[in-house]
């Protein structure tokens, strides 16, 4: 019996890469999606294959409809029908107060974090939902505790995008609950990834880690374990949930 196939957007590094590795170890064939870092994506694929797993890397911008359709078609053609989607791709934009935020940063943050999740979910549902003749499956949306804190003075635009993602998560889950598709989210706290440097503050991780209830930042694999669990049959009666993975926040 062929292993089920999963697409993980933005999985060339960080939490996405950890999720790809863990999913492969749990028996999934993995579509490793990346926007620009081809070398890192192929390194993740090489690691999975070295452990006996199946994976391919596919470049696609999740905010572009044509790219998303090509991503799903290529992964299905090479690995088999897609049974799970992790909407992990996200950009924080630059740290900024709202009145200083550029239009370009605002639009890109919303396009990747919100529009991209919608487009990927659409592509998945048209292929996996029983309403469209599919066999069903599961989606996990990767959100942030910023959706609750608002991240004032730093990343209000990112927080707003993640709040929209969580509303999408809840609404979509109810919409497709009787069509063989479960939809859940993880709300991540402070994690040891490159997102802080990308946002323009490489020291942010170190400053905030000591303030966490557990006294440290999370590791990418700790997020991956929650994501992969929500995709599994062990979570078969869970849909519409947003699971905090935030070290006590």
Residues 6+ apart with CB under 8 A from 55: 20, 24, 29, 30, 31, 32, 44, 45, 48, 49, 79
Supply the DSSP string of 160-228, one letter for each residue.
Answer: HHHHHHHHHHHHHHHHHTTTTEEEEEEEE-SBSSTHHHHTT-TTHHHHHHTTSTTSSPBPHHHHHHHHH
What is the predicted pLDDT for the residue at 201? 64
What is the predicted pLDDT for the residue at 212? 79
What residues make up the domain containing 231? Answer: 5-239
What is the predicted pLDDT for the residue at 214? 79
The catalytic residues are 158
Residue 249: inside a domain: no
Share of the chain above pLDDT 90, in %: 85
- pLDDT, tens digit (0-9, with 9 covering 90-100), for 150-175: 999 999 999 999 999 999 999 999 99
Q: DSSP state, 153?
A: T
Residue 194: inside a domain: yes
Tell whether the model's pLDDT for residue 62 goes beyond 70.
Answer: yes
Tell whether the model's pLDDT for residue 131 goes beyond 70.
Answer: yes
Q: Give me the number of domains the chain comprises.
A: 1
- pLDDT, tens digit (0-9, with 9 covering 90-100), for 6-30: 999 999 999 999 999 999 999 999 9
Residue 101: inside a domain: yes
| Poorest-pLDDT segment among 22-36, 177-191, 203-217 | 203-217
Residue 186: inside a domain: yes
Residue 248: inside a domain: no
- Provide the 3-class DSSP secondary structure of residue 59: strand
Question: Could you tell me the CATH number of the domain that includes residue 17?
Answer: 3.40.50.720
pLDDT band at 193 (very low <50, low <70, confident <90, very high): confident
Separation between Cα atoms, residue 5 and residue 138, nearest integer Å: 11
Mean pLDDT of 47-75: 98
Token readout for 130 is: 């029983």
* Average model confidence (pLDDT) across the chain: 94
Separation between Cα atoms, residue 238 and residue 136, nearest integer Å: 14
Residue 45: inside a domain: yes
Residue 40: inside a domain: yes
Using CA atoms of 127, 128, 130, 134 in order, give the dihedral in degrees to the nearest 10: 70
Residue 22: inside a domain: yes
């Amino acid at each position: 019996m062929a292993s089920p196939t999963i697409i993980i957007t933005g999985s060339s590094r960080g939490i996405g890469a950890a999720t790809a590795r863990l999913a492969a170890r749990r028996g999934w064939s993995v579509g490793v999606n990346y926007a620009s870092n081809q070398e890192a994506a192929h390194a993740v694929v090489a690691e999975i294959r070295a452990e006996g797993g199946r994976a391919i890397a596919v470049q696609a911008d999740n905010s572009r409809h044509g790219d998303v359709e090509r991503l799903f078609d290529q992964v299905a053609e090479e690995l088999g029908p897609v049974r799970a989607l992790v909407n992990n791709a996200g950009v924080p934009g630059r740290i900024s107060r709202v009145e200083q935020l550029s239009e370009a940063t605002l639009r890109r943050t919303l396009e990747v974090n919100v529009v991209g999740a919608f487009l990927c979910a659409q592509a998945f549902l048209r292929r996996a939902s029983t309403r469209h003749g599919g066999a069903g499956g599961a989606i996990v949306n990767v959100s942030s505790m910023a959706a609750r804190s608002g991240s004032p003075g730093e990343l209000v635009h990112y927080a707003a995008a993640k709040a929209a993602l969580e509303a999408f998560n809840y609404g979509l889950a109810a919409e497709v609950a009787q069509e063989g598709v479960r939809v859940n989210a993880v709300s991540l706290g402070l994690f040891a990834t490159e997102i802080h440097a990308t946002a323009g503050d490489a020291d942010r991780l170190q400053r905030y880690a000591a303030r966490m209830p557990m006294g440290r930042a999370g590791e990418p694999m700790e997020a991956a374990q929650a994501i992969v669990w929500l995709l599994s049959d062990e979570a078969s009666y869970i849909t519409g949930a947003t699971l905090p993975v935030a070290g006590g926040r």
